[in-house]
Amino acid sequence: MNTPVPAPDAQPSTQPAMVKVWDVLVRLLHWSLVSAVLLAWVTSEADQPLAQQVHEWAGLTALAVIALRLVWGVIGSRHARFVQFVRNPRTTLHYAQQMLSLREPRHIGHNPLGAWMIVALLTVGMLAAGSGWLSITDRFWGEEWLAELHEFLANLLLSLAAIHVCGVLFASLRHRENLPRAMLSGRKRPPAAGDVDNVD
Ligand code: HEM
Ligand code: HEM
């Protein structure tokens, strides 16, 4: 359910300067995933055995991070849970329309479009790393179609990540807050009138 924050009747002086939104595991997993995917990417075309090993370990780390994030999305803190931020298609479409006319509200957690991008990044990330893993098993070793699928999924993941970063920068500009910094500190400006903080 979308819950616009009511006009504040409390005295601003009693409000905290910042509120805690992202718990430590969300932040740790995000930046670990970014590092692992980028490391897998830069080592993907290397010929040396050491670089190939780094590629495989980085990819497997990304897979483990995604698995942990999926569990944390069910049992984690409030803004980490999928039910808190993944909205239905109607709400997401409405948000997209608002965004096109530059009227979209600020969200305290992930906004509906960002949320679906997160679902896409986690799914494609899992498939990209999973297909890489399969390609080194005895059963699928040397299968050309799997190598091509793996490369395609990895390219798709990087393209989605680029769009994701554009979305983050756009939302940061629109709502005048540094979202990458919030993903580091876990803190954001408190909700104001008209902001949305979904109730799960
Ligand atoms: C391979 C590249 C990347 C991947 C796979 C990725 C993936 C993700 C995922 C899965 C989330 C959800 C966080 C959670 O709730 O656990 C997220 C959120 C976020 N990411 Fe990334 N990310 C990438 C790169 C980046 C980069 C380079 C930045 C910095 C500019 C960034 C900034 C953010 C921010 C600020 C959020 C929170 C967005 C919000 O406020 O709703 N990401 N990212
Ligand atoms: C999200 C993580 C990953 C990304 C972004 C990624 C990216 C890539 C890319 C772009 C290529 C193609 C390189 C070329 O142009 O030839 C590649 C190849 C390869 N990757 Fe990954 N990879 C990931 C995870 C993994 C994992 C987990 C493994 C194994 C444990 C793995 C094993 C391989 C192998 C053996 C190749 C060469 C043969 C093939 O294409 O299947 N990768 N990877």
Residues 6+ apart with CB under 8 A from 156: 124, 128
Determine if ligand 1 sits within 6 Å of the CB of residue 188.
no
Ligand 1 atom closest to Cα of 125? Answer: 5
* Ligand 2: centre distance to CA 113 (Å): 28
121 Cβ inside 6 Å of ligand 1? yes
Contact 122 CB / ligand 1 (< 6 Å): yes
Task: Pick the atom of ligand 1 nearest to 37's CA.
Answer: 1
Give pLDDT tens digits along the chain (200 positions).
Answer: 555 655 544 445 555 689 999 999 999 999 999 999 999 999 999 999 999 999 999 999 999 999 999 999 999 999 999 999 999 999 999 999 999 999 999 999 999 999 999 999 999 999 999 999 999 999 999 999 999 999 999 999 999 999 999 999 999 999 999 999 999 999 999 999 999 999 87
Which ligand is nearest to the Cα of residue 72, counting in written order? 1
What is the tens place of the pLDDT at every residue in 93-126? 999 999 999 999 999 999 999 999 999 999 999 9
What is the model's pLDDT at position 5? 57
Q: What separation in angstroms does the CA of 155 have from each of 38, 83, 152?
A: 12, 29, 5
Whether residue 5 lies inside any domain: the answer is: no
- Is residue 79, in this structure, part of any structural domain at all? yes
Is residue 129 in some structural domain?
A: yes
**55 domain-assigned:** yes
Q: Backbone dihedral region of 65: left (phi > 0), alpha (psi from -120 to 50 degrees) or beta?
A: alpha
160 domain-assigned: yes
Cα separation, 107 vs 105, whole angstroms:
6
Is the pTM here over 0.85, yes or no? yes
Question: What is the count of structural domains for the chain?
Answer: 1
Residue closest by Cα to atom 10 of ligand 2: 151
Is 137 a member of any domain?
yes
- Indicate whether 109 belongs to any domain: yes
Give burial (CB, 10 Å; 0-12/13-18/19+) of 125.
buried
Atom of ligand 2 nearest to the CA of 148: 40
Spatial distance between the Cα atoms of 67 and 125, rounded to a whole number of angstroms: 10
Domain limits at 175? 18-188
Q: According to the model, what pLDDT value does residue 10 have?
A: 45
What values do phi and psi take at 117, rounded to 5? -65, -35
Does ligand 1 lie within 6 Å of residue 161's CB atom? yes
Specify if 10 maps to a domain: no
**Distance from C-alpha of 142 to C-alpha of 46, rounded to nearest angstrom:** 17
pLDDT of residue 199: 85
At residue 96, the pLDDT reads 98
Angle made by CA atoms 30, 34, 36, in degrees to the nearest 5: 115
Asked if residue 140 lies in contact with residue 73, where contact means CB atoms within 8 angstroms, the answer is no
Ligand 2 pocket list (CB less than 6 A): 37, 40-41, 44-45, 55-56, 59-60, 62-63, 125, 128-129, 132-133, 135-136, 147, 150-151, 154, 157
Q: For residue 125, which amino acid is it?
A: G
At 38, which CATH number? 1.20.950
Distance, CA of 179 to CA of 189 (rounded, Å): 10
Long-range CB contacts (within 8 A, 24+) of 81-88:
81/200, 82/119, 83/200, 84/109, 84/198, 84/200, 85/109, 85/110, 85/112, 85/114, 85/115, 85/118, 85/198, 86/115, 86/116, 86/119, 87/2, 87/112, 87/115, 87/198
* 30 close to 190: Cβ distance less than 8 angstroms: no
